[in-house]
């Protein structure tokens, strides 16, 4: 964090950091922090200081309750609890009195590193750990100063515990009693942060604040929103991406009682027909009765079979260079008998979050109000403002709880919000909720890109790789987006080659290149992005090398890893300690596979016990070791690891692919695009965390890349085959 300088545990703010304190209307204390850091894409540019609204991160209420605002979307990853834990710990707040709420879109809530309000890259805790610690420490300091002033003592003679300030002569005051006086205190320039040994919440297993209300239904998601007079909209989109409405007949649709309007709207690509009705089912029935003649003559009508052939052809030629280390002619000196040549193919994948996409907007002419479960609040707020002819500050954006996302709610072009705004523009003063059905989302694009990898490995007499040529073919996710300046270098989209180009394996004569064909299929990051396919390639090939060298797979990885791959080494050591016993005693016709991978600065190692049932893998157990630095909430990390393994199994599902024919997506719903069921995920998962004091790193995405290669490595032992194409159609 470039604007914070730390000496020991004393944290100093520079002029570009911003703290605002005020007394709330209810008599509480409001504290908010903004670290005005540049968007990473600006590469160190120094924007001018801005004026920020007096929004708050902390509110101490008169009844002693402490409301902490979470500057991220909560969609299952646990930030609704973990971020308040960080702040409350430094504040010495009574956790039993802590509540949380999701922040609206506002400058003050922007990610301290990226400069926009967002969730992505497993950066919520990693980027806001220091930020929330500082807010908590400064709040505590002001409360202590208020108490010390009343008691006529020095602040360093006071101590705090469980929302109470204690004085040197037995005095005590509740935080709620001091809130108004604290709001009048000057903001301290520096504060003493706790050492890890002083943490009372951080590092402890804490139950989630949102678990009970989610179970009893009291927490509402975006799809649950029901406002007075609200209408519901659905959209009939072209069957081929970028198609346009040529002609339409809406008589049958309009004849249904409760239908309010049917009209054409622009899309990011092409045009579509919107149906607005009193209720969702009415709108859907009306949409089904629309007769639309689509014009798709001007757009590419791709098929995945044709793309596969094209990609495989490209993979035989070098692409733009991502990594060029050592002598690239070294491969030519290796005999064919000492080479492995492997081609991998990965399909388009949908995100399929359990809560379908939705956005509600009320447009009042000079202002708008929005309710959405967004990973990109800043981007979506700006897009809505643009469509409605407003300034972003004229759009009040409420962040709603979301039922999953996996990247699908972080779309640079804000296409869902743009659709919703175009519809709301016709219904001034009336809230309109746009709902994407499951079919809309499965067929509506924004998939993980299809990829082909071709790898040629030269092997020495000791079984170690001495040359590695790796070509990756797949669409760029970030081309044409604001992220391109940061993530595309030398024509290579870093999100496509991450997990291979940045491998921690010490391989001499290492060459990675990439081709990024332009294809008429909208693509997007999918939980753990490029690591999903690159991690699979690296970990199955390293396992194959270990088998060829007749070495234990863990020992081989440790030999091949760079000395500075400390997190992966620690994970492999912990994995060996926790799984060695059961790995040596698996039943007949069962096999063990392992994989390790580092992504988002977090190391993960995984071992699985697998058999084959009904021609599909059965995962009987999994042991996972993770090194995330400081483990803010071990319970959340355990859940993330378990959920990440379950999500990662998606890649293996027999019907886990999006395919296209003549430009049309062939799958419609979960019957054709099948997610993992209970029988597909590990029966038991035990999670072990490497003890650490380094700054926290990401946990939401890092478990995803390890499960598929670990399972496939086990299957190779059972069948003698190497699986290089996903999904696993047959065993």
Q: Dump pLDDT digits (tens) for 401-445.
A: 999 999 999 999 999 999 999 999 999 999 999 999 999 999 999
In the 8-state DSSP scheme, what is residue 490?
T
Q: What average pLDDT is seen over the chain?
A: 92
Q: How many CA atoms lie within 13 A of 90 on its CB side?
A: 29
pLDDT band at 13 (very low <50, low <70, confident <90, very high): very low
CATH number at 4-216: 3.30.365.10
* Token duo for residue 422: 């175009």
| Sequence-separated (6 or more) residues with CB below 8 Å from residue 498 | 529, 530, 531, 534, 599
Q: State mean pLDDT over 353-369.
A: 97
pLDDT band at 40 (very low <50, low <70, confident <90, very high): very low
Residue among 82, 24, 14 nearest 56 (CA): 24
pLDDT digits (tens, 9 = 90+) for 179-223: 999 989 987 878 999 999 999 999 999 999 999 999 999 999 999
Residue 6 scores a pLDDT above 90: no
pLDDT band at 4 (very low <50, low <70, confident <90, very high): very low
What's the rounded Cα separation, in Å, for the pair 537 and 725?
10
What's the rounded Cα separation, in Å, for the pair 417 and 313?
38
pLDDT digits (tens, 9 = 90+) for 591-628: 999 999 999 999 999 999 999 999 999 999 999 999 99
Task: Pinpoint the residues of the chain covered by CATH 3.30.365.10.
Answer: 4-216, 222-297+357-435, 315-348+447-719
Is 3.30.365.10 the CATH number for 222-297+357-435? yes
What pLDDT is stored for residue 142 in this prediction? 93
Residue 308, Cβ density class (10 Å: 0-12 exposed, 13-18 middle, ≥19 buried): middle
Indicate the SS3 state at residue 185. Answer: coil
| Sequence-separated (6 or more) residues with CB below 8 Å from residue 152 | none
| Sequence-separated (6 or more) residues with CB below 8 Å from residue 640 | 77, 78, 699, 700, 703
Q: Which residue has the higher pLDDT, 478 or 186?
A: 478
Site of tokens 């995100």? 351
Site of tokens 């604290």? 182
| CATH architecture for the domain at 315-348+447-719 | 2-Layer Sandwich (3.30)
Q: Are strands 510-515 and 465-474 parallel, antiparallel or unpaired?
A: parallel
Q: Are strands 685-689 and 616-627 parallel, antiparallel or unpaired?
A: parallel
Q: Helices then strands (H, E): number in the chain?
A: 17, 33
What pLDDT is stored for residue 29 in this prediction? 53
Give this prediction's pTM: 0.92
What's the rounded Cα separation, in Å, for the pair 5 and 19?
16
Percent of the chain with pLDDT over 70: 92
What's the rounded Cα separation, in Å, for the pair 21 and 39?
25
481 cis-preceded (ω within 30 degrees of 0): no
What pLDDT is stored for residue 54 in this prediction? 25
């Amino acid at each position: 964090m470039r604007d914070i300088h730390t000496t020991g545990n004393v944290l100093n703010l520079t002029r570009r950091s911003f703290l605002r304190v005020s007394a709330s209307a209810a008599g509480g204390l409001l504290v908010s922090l903004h670290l005005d850091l540049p968007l990473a894409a600006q590469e160190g540019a120094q924007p001018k200081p801005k004026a920020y609204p007096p929004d708050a991160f902390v509110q101490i209420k008169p009844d002693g309750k402490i409301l902490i605002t979470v500057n991220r979307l909560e969609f299952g990853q646990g930030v609704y609890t973990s971020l308040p834990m960080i702040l409350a710990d430094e504040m010495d707040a009574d956790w039993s009195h802590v509540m949380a709420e999701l922040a609206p879109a506002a400058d003050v809530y922007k990610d301290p590193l990226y400069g926009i309000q967002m969730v992505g890259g497993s950066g919520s805790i990693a980027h806001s750990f220091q930020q929330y610690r500082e807010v908590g420490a400064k709040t505590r300091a002001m409360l202590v100063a208020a108490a010390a002033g009343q008691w006529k003592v020095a602040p360093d003679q006071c101590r705090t515990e469980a929302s109470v300030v204690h004085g040197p002569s037995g005095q005590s005051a509740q935080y709620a009693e001091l809130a108004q006086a604290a709001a009048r205190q000057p903001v301290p320039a520096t504060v003493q942060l706790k050492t890890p040994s002083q943490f009372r919440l951080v590092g402890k297993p804490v139950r989630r604040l949102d678990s009970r209300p989610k179970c009893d239904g009291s927490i509402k998601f975006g799809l649950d929103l029901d406002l007075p007079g609200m209408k519901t909209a659905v959209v009939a989109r072209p069957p081929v991406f970028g198609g346009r409405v040529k002609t339409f007949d809406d008589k049958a649709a309009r004849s249904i009682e409760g239908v309010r309007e049917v009209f054409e709207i622009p899309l990011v690509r092409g045009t579509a027909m919107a149906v607005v009705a009193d209720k969702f089912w009415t709108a859907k029935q009306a949409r089904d009765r629309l007769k639309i003649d689509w014009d798709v003559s001007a757009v590419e009508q791709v098929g995945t079979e044709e793309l596969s052939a094209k990609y495989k052809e490209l993979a035989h030629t070098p692409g733009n260079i991502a990594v060029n280390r050592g002598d690239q002619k070294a491969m030519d000196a290796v005999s064919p008998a000492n080479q492995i040549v492997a081609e991998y193919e990965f399909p388009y994948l949908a995100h399929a979050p359990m809560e379908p996409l939705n956005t509600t907007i009320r447009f009042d002419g000079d202002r708008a109000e929005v309710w959405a479960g967004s990973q990109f609040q800043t981007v979506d707020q700006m897009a809505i403002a643009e469509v409605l002819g407003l300034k972003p500050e004229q759009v009040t954006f409420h962040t709603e709880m979301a039922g999953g996302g996996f990247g699908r709610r972080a779309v640079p072009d804000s296409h869902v919000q743009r659709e919703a705004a175009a519809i709301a523009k016709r219904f001034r003063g009336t809230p309109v909720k746009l709902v994407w059905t499951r079919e809309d989302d499965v067929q509506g694009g924004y998939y993980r890109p299809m990829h082909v990898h071709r790898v040629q490995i030269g092997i020495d007499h000791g079984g170690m790789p001495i040359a590695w040529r790796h070509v990756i073919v797949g669409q760029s996710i970030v081309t044409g987006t604001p992220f391109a300046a940061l993530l595309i270098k030398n024509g290579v989209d870093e999100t496509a080659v991450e997990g291979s180009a940045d491998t921690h394996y010490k391989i001499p004569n290492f060459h990675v290149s990439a081709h990024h064909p332009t294809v008429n299929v909208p693509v997007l990051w999918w939980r753990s992005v490029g690591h999903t396919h690159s991690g699979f390639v690296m970990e199955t090939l390293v396992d194959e090398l270990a088998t060829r060298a007749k070495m234990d797979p863990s020992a081989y990885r440790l030999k091949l890893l760079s000395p500075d791959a400390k997190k992966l080494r620690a994970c492999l050591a912990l994995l060996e300690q926790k799984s060695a016993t059961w790995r040596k005693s698996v039943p007949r016709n069962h096999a063990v596979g392992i994989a390790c991978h580092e992504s988002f600065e977090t190391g993960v190692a995984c071992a699985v016990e697998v058999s084959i049932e009904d021609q599909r893998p059965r995962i009987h157990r999994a042991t996972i070791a993770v090194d995330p630095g400081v483990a803010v909430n071990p319970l959340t990390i355990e859940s993330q690891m378990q959920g990440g393994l379950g999500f990662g199994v998606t890649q293996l599902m027999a019907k886990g692919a999006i395919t296209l024919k003549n430009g049309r997506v062939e799958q419609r719903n979960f019957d054709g695009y099948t997610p993992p069921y209970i029988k597909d995920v590990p029966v038991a998962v035990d999670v072990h965390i490497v003890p650490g004091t380094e700054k926290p790193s990401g946990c939401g995405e890092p478990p995803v890349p390890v499960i598929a290669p670990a399972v496939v490595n086990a299957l190779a032992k059972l069948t003698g085959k190497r699986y290089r194409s996903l999904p696993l159609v047959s065993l």
